[in-house]
Amino acid sequence: MQDKLLINGQWVEGSDGQTTDVTNPATGELIATVAAGSAEDAVAAVDAAAAAQKLWASTAPRQRAETLRACWQILLDNQEELAGIITAEQGKPLSDARGEIAYAAEFFRWNSEEAVRIEGSIRTAPGGTNKIIVHHPPVGVVVMVTPWNFPAAMITRKVAPALAAGNAVVIKPAPDTPLTALRVGELLHEAGVPAGLVNIVPTNDAAEWFEAATAHKATRMVSFTGSTATGRALLKVASGRVLRTAMELGGNAPFVVFNDADIDAAVEGAMVAKMRHSAETCTAANRFFVESGVAEEFTTKLSAAMRAVKTGDGTDPEVSCGPMINGAAIEKISGLVNGAVAAGATVALGGSAVDGPGHFFEPTVLGGVKPTDPITSEEIFGPVAPIIPFTDTAEMIAHANDTEMGLAAYVYTADIGRGMAVSEQLEYGMVGLNRGAMSDPAAPFGGMKQSGIGREGGSEGIYEFCETQYIATSW
């Protein structure tokens, strides 16, 4: 197990000797003590990245593509080991952890294919005096701050396009889940990523680390996945050097079910949209708007499906909902559920935290939630489904859009025309129409409003890591 910092292809201790403890959220047991980097280490990592990036940017796109493809392969070859690390430090069930590695690896395969297709353009100036040539060189060094809920995939979703475009990266993984990040980094080097191109520096002092990394004159961009509150704070710091930013922030996804929907399919989709990866995803369905004609049937069937979920240690093959990441998460979820009940919601299932060890919350379904209850304005990030019955579609859409967030939304209806019309009216970057799953390396992932800036994945994703240069010339 790697427990040092990865800087310039070397495993090193933190310059001030600090360490951070990693615990298993299912048991509370200490599983590793990992070196924690200082501001000085962040600067050393940016130095290394800046030096490595020059050479990498000048390699042929095909060569970069081949290296990325080797990264895809090596992650798959080590899927079982990596899944075990994820389950140990993050808690998600092993089956989800395996799925995460397949998803994480796929960003490399997809971007290996994109590396050779970065397009530019040429046109004649309207006055006919010259040509306008537009091309897309790499940005340079990218500082990445990544979350604990997908400790592998949220790294590869950034690193793969960044490398494909010719950049180098410095990553601060989440303090709860550094082990996955470090092992992924080690494997990328085994696959042929040159030293210095991918640096991984966990830290105990995120603010100091980030200030130092972004103050470095070689840093050109910040890419972050996490909460909107943290995103705002990072944007303030990044603005000091007018850095390019890509932000994947919080969600508050509405899940809409119309009377004409296939209710069994809607429940199946709801289970994916709500419970995937133990309900700790930013795309998770957060508010279920269910038309009144099917509200009772949907609530009964969703409760039955949620009741069948086994919660526990993710190493148990029967478990499909692991622990929440920490005690603070449990406190937040409990507070939201209690607040909803105090405001008049009924508990159709669950409703409470489970005694430790570990940080578990019962799969919970709340009926009769009002669209303005406090639980509807917070990202729950836990296995709780608040159901809000509705009768008027226009009013429902207004409530669904009445949030600062705009990441993911879901719509279930048999009328595809209505589904498309409602999808267009929802102010969300991604809509699942009769689908509970939408994450795909081949699709542009990202949000509107305060859910983010930019897109990751798809053919759009690579351009986030590219500059635009225009050359005026005549011949």
Position 451 contacts ligand SIN (CB under 6 A)? no
Alpha carbons 244 and 219: distance in angstroms, whole number:
10
Q: Does 281 bind ligand SIN (CB under 6 A)?
A: yes
Which region among 58-66, 181-189, 276-284, 297-305 touches ligand SIN (by CB under 6 A)?
276-284
With CB under 6 A as the contact rule, the residue among 149, 167, 203, 278 that binds ligand SIN is: 149
> Is 89 marked active-site?
no
| Site size with ligand SIN, rule: CB under 6 A | 9
Could you tell me which residues are beta bridge partners of residue 142? Answer: 169, 221
Rounded to whole angstroms, how far apart are CA atoms 126 and 129? 8
Residues 6+ apart with CB under 8 A from 405: 228, 249, 250, 251, 252, 379, 447, 449, 450, 451
Q: Are 361 and 383 in contact (CB under 8 A)?
A: yes
Kindly indicate which of the ranges 147-155, 170-178, 324-332, 414-422 contains the residues binding ligand SIN, using the contact rule CB under 6 A. Answer: 147-155
Q: Does 423 bind ligand SIN (CB under 6 A)?
A: no
* Amino acid of residue 204: N
Q: Which residue shows structure tokens 């609530």?
A: 299
Whether 248 sits among the annotated catalytic residues: the reply is yes
Using the minimum distance from each CB to ligand SIN, give the nearer residue, 199 or 283. 283
299 near ligand SIN, judged by CB under 6 A:
no
Closest-CA residue to 391 (of 299, 296, 291): 291
- For residues 382 and 361, give the distance between their C-alpha atoms in angstroms, rounded to a whole number: 8
Whole-number minimum distance, CB 466 to ligand SIN, in Å?
22
Give CA–CA dist 49/45, Å, rounded.
Answer: 6
Minimum gap (Å) between residue 359 Cβ and ligand SIN: 18
CA–CA distance from 419 to each of 398, 412, 423 (Å)?
Answer: 16, 7, 6
The residue nearest ligand SIN at its CB is 439
The catalytic position among 100, 114, 248, 362 is: 248
Decide if residue 282 touches ligand SIN (CB under 6 A). yes
In the complex with ligand SIN, which residue's Cβ is closer, 146 or 413?
Answer: 146
Show the site string, 218-237: x = touches ligand SIN by CB under 6 A, - = not.
-------x------------
Least CB distance to ligand SIN at residue 144 (A):
13
> What is the rounded CA–CA span in Å between residue 459 and residue 436?
23
Contacting positions for ligand SIN (CB under 6 A): 149-150, 154, 225, 281-283, 439, 445
